[in-house]
Structure 1
Amino acid sequence: MAPYDILQTFLLLILGHAVADYPLQGEFLARAKSRFSPMQGVPWYQALGAHAVIHGGAVALITGSLLLGVLETASHWLIDDLKCGRRISYNRDQLLHVLCKALWLGGLLLFGPLP
């Protein structure tokens, strides 16, 4: 990848994160995804799963890699569950998400296109 392509891909991953974490999450998913304060009648794992899949889909679309989309889904689930359980702060949550994006980009740089 050319330096411009690397920067562009990273910025698109950050943009995808911002869109998926804010307007596409909304108040419903933000409240319903916590197993520590569940919303009556809404399985928390479905809400957290939906939110994580939205993030995974964004990564898959931007990188062209279903593998990276699955890795993003799993990591986003874990990080958000830690945040909901107050084991990490909001800022640490966001930092970990950005570090994951850097890791996905590193994978593309090291291994080329991933399946």
Structure 2
Amino acid sequence: MDGEIAGFVFLKLDVRQTYLSLSTAEKANVISEFFIMRKFRGHGVGRTVACSLFDQFPGQWEVRQTVGNKPAYAFWKQVISKYKQDGAYQEEGSRAERKMEWSCIYVQLAKLALIF
């Protein structure tokens, strides 16, 4: 942002079903890591980045966050419900994986036009 790095995202594209937490689709995209630096939070940067990714790679998505990360959970619920006009998505409660508990949001996303 203005020449500064505002954060980073690690994506896994076309992940096979055997490696997915919730999706029953043959393949889905997974956001492995999503980080926005604190000074850029609350300004729409994260939402803009997430929506840009959803536009670039329409299809099945899984978004996971650790159970204790309540701000991340609230962020993703808000972004997905605003992006997906019908607000429909599926959630899975905590799931132990590699000694961490995860919650997962699964959604089918088509490319949509959004008004910010």
Q: Which range, TM-score by smaller chain?
A: 0.3 to 0.5
User: What TM-score does the superposition give when structure 1 sets the normalisation length?
Assistant: 0.33
Higher strand share goes to which structure?
A: 2
Higher helix share goes to which structure?
A: 1
User: What TM-score does the superposition give when structure 2 sets the normalisation length?
Assistant: 0.33
